Structures are given as structure tokens and as C-alpha cells.
């Protein structure tokens, strides 16, 4: 079966929005340090682009990889750490950088876990948000785009590990 990707959010719109959100983050943490935590693999492209646009803040990076177990395609809320952080979080301003918040199970669990490591503050920044799908509450401080309940790819997000490199967000369609 052939498939193609229909553009949902073009590259220039994503760039403009990331600059806007990076400015808000710069303002919020001006003169302070901020520890960005990328949730792999989906959050990688977004975190790089976001970090480049943050100014007047001392930025450090760390990376974490998690997998959610569930029946079929839905997440169950059981989150397994595949790769943990390298650095401790104690006393740090932490910003979790995620590709998309869907049911909310992953970040609901993860933010509680990271909070237990004693950061000074912890907030969430996501490229995409599907509020209509939420099952678990997630306090999202920075969200670039709210999207409808469609499976999207590109800008770090995959379908079967494909399409992560697309510079735009799109929807996979089957002809």
C-alpha cells in the first residue's frame, strides 16, 4: 500500500512559533540556568531548534528515553526508562522538552518521577498537543501547536521509525 504525507504545519510556521516560545522561555529564566531534558527520540529536532533560539539563559542539555507499554496502540501509563539522565536534577530549573502530548500518560508519570529528584523547578514544553485525547492531567507550560486527533509525523515524530527528518508536520495518508 502506497503512503504519502499531507502537510499539516509547514516549516516556516514551526520556525516562527519556536522563536515565539523560545522568547517566552528566555524571559522566564533570564539570567538563570535552565536544564533542558529531551525526551528521545521524538523531541530531538524540536529541542535543537528551541535551544538555538533561547538567549540570556545558561542552558545545559540532558537526554532520556522512555517507552510506554499498552494494549495495541494506546499507552497504559506504565512507562519504562530505556535510557536515564546522565546528570542529577537537584536544585536545577528543569524544562522537559517533548514532541507531543497525546493521552498524557507518559508525561504524567515522568514529571512525577523527575520531581522526586529534587529540582528547583520543573516545567513542560511540547511542540504538539492533542488536548482532545487527554486521559491523564499534564501541566503544560509551553505548547507550540494544538492539533486535532490525527496521527502526525515529521519534525522528530515517526510512523514506524520513518519520517522523523521531515522539516514540517504532516499526516500519513494511504492511497
Contact residues for ligand IMP, defined by CB under 6 A: 42, 68, 75, 98-106, 151-152, 157
Which of ligand IMP, Mg ion, none interacts with 26 (beta carbon under 5 to 8 A by kind)? none
102: annotated active-site residue: yes
Give the torsion through C-alpha atoms of 28, 32, 97, 112, to 10 deg.
-90
In this structure, the strands spanning 169-174 and 152-153 are antiparallel
Angstrom distance (rounded) from CA 109 to CA 107: 5
Set 56, 102, 160, 175: catalytic member: 102
Counting contacts by CB under 5 A, is residue 156 touching Mg ion? no
CA 133 to chain CA mean position, Å: 16
CB-based closest residue to Mg ion: 42
Name the residue nearer to ligand IMP (CB basis): 90 or 137: 137
Counting contacts by CB under 5 A, is residue 104 touching Mg ion? no
Grid coordinates 528543569 are at which residue? Answer: 94
Catalytic residues: 102
Amino acid at each position: 500500500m502506497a503512503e504519502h504525507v499531507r502537510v499539516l504545519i509547514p516549516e516556516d510556521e514551526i520556525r516562527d512559533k519556536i522563536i515565539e516560545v523560545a522568547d517566552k522561555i528566555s524571559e522566564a529564566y533570564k539570567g538563570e540556568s535552565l536544564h533542558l531534558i529531551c525526551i528521545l527520540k521524538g523531541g530531538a529536532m524540536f529541542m535543537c531548534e528551541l535551544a538555538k533560539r533561547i538567549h540570556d539563559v545558561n542552558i545545559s542539555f540532558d537526554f532520556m528515553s522512555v517507552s510506554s507499554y499498552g494494549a495495541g496502540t494506546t499507552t497504559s501509563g506504565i512507562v519504562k526508562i530505556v535510557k536515564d539522565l546522565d546528570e542529577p536534577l537537584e536544585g536545577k530549573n528543569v524544562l522537559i522538552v517533548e514532541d507531543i502530548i497525546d493521552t498524557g500518560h507518559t508525561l504524567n508519570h515522568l514529571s512525577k518521577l523527575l520531581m522526586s529528584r529534587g529540582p528547583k523547578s520543573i516545567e513542560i514544553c511540547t511542540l504538539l498537543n492533542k488536548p482532545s485525547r487527554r486521559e491523564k492531567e499534564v501541566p503544560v507550560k509551553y505548547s507550540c501547536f494544538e492539533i486535532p486527533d490525527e496521527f502526525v509525523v515529521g519534525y522528530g515524530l515517526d510512523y514506524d521509525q520513518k519520517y522523523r527528518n521531515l522539516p514540517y508536520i504532516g499526516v500519513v495518508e494511504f492511497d
